Structure 1
């Protein structure tokens, strides 16, 4: 696929929180990452307001296992609360994704250099991303490295279909939709032989507005274009 990358995402723990479990101060992870969580990883590898990262599919490589821990959440008003968080343990995924230009940002039109953005993205992936990778939560450090999607054995090869129920797909922000509100998307994924094929955000039929919000504006004078950034990389060697 055009402007695509494929990579392995792994870590000791992950917490892709089911929002229904937050009501009592507890947290329980979904069995698999949400679209929004993988998109966040992609934006940690390389992000520009010019681009929209699209997650195409993931492949679950290891058996889904969970572990509960007693956690003391930070309480700025004092207190000594003990909460129970249930994490995914020893996770590994293969991810296939690509980027498209954000046509809702005409102020970034000058930065639409497809070839150079793709080169920077691949270069950033090769060194583990431009920012720290987190698996759903800041205490869950993640790591990325290039791979060929579909290579290697998955625990769920030949496993058949697993219906995962209703899950959060992701969030809509006004600079991506053109609507002055934040929205949450829901969907009901099916994992087939370890692979989840994500529908695109605009294909989600269950969408709920959760807050009014205006798109963030960027001063072009303060945003490096892909040409400028790639020139710096070629001189300095940093991602």
Structure 2
């Protein structure tokens, strides 16, 4: 696929929080990563407001296992609360994703150099990302490496049948990407077959709920470096 990358992401723990479990101060992870969590991983590898990251597919490489921990949440007003967080243990995924240009940002049309963006994205992946990588929660540090999607053996390769995960959060709609002055949440019903989950595109999700009014963030030459300047810096760094 055009402007695509394939990579593996792994760590000791992951926490893709089911929002229904947060009401009492506890946290319980979904069994599989959300679209939004994997989009965040790609954006930590490389992102600019000129781009919209699209996650196409994820492959679950290890068996889905969970582990509960007693956690003391940070309480700025004092207190000694003990909460129970349930994490995914030894998560390992292969991800296929690509980028398209954000047509809702005509102010950044000058930054739409497809070749340079793709080049920087691939270089950033090989370097392990431009920002810290984590799986769902900040305490779940993770690592990324390039891979050939579907090449390595996975735990669910020979699983007979489909696994349905019920109603889950797909992701968040922000005004920068939708052109609507509000934040929305998308819901969907993922199905895994032989370890593979193909994601619905955000615009194809029919279950969308408004969360709050929101204005798009302002981006211009004062707070966004052009891809041409960034590419020149990377080229210069690679030659030094």
TM over 0.5: yes
TM, length-normalised to structure 2: 0.98
Equivalent residue for 1:191?
A: 192
Matched, 1:216 2:189: no
- The whole-number CA distance in structure 1 between the counterparts of 2:16 and 2:223 is 34
- The whole-number CA distance in structure 1 between the counterparts of 2:237 and 2:89 is 38
> SS of the counterpart of 1:64?
coil
- The whole-number CA distance in structure 2 between the counterparts of 1:233 and 1:216 is 27
Matched, 1:235 2:207: no
The answer (yes or no) to whether the contact 1:11–1:142 under 8 Å persists in 2 is yes
Structure 1 runs (4+) deviating above 4 angstroms are none
Q: Superposed, which structure 2 residues align to 1:85-234 within 5 Å?
A: 85-159=85-159, 160-234=161-235
The answer (yes or no) to whether the contact 2:5–2:98 under 8 Å persists in 1 is yes
Measured against aligned partners, the alpha-carbon deviations of 1:128-160 in whole angstroms (never above 9, x if no partner) come to 000000110000001000000001111101212
- The whole-number CA distance in structure 2 between the counterparts of 1:107 and 1:151 is 40
- The whole-number CA distance in structure 2 between the counterparts of 1:52 and 1:219 is 17
The answer (yes or no) to whether the contact 1:101–1:112 under 8 Å persists in 2 is yes
**How far is 1:221 from its partner?**
3.7
CA RMSD across the alignment = 0.9
TM, length-normalised to structure 1: 0.98
> SS of the counterpart of 2:177?
helix
Kindly tell me the number of residue pairs found equivalent between the two proteins. 238
Measured against aligned partners, the alpha-carbon deviations of 1:24-81 in whole angstroms (never above 9, x if no partner) come to 1000000000000000000000010000000000000000000000000000111000
**How far is 1:222 from its partner?**
3.2
Measured against aligned partners, the alpha-carbon deviations of 1:154-191 in whole angstroms (never above 9, x if no partner) come to 11012120001000000000010000000000000100
The answer (yes or no) to whether the contact 1:10–1:144 under 8 Å persists in 2 is yes
**How far is 1:201 from its partner?**
0.3
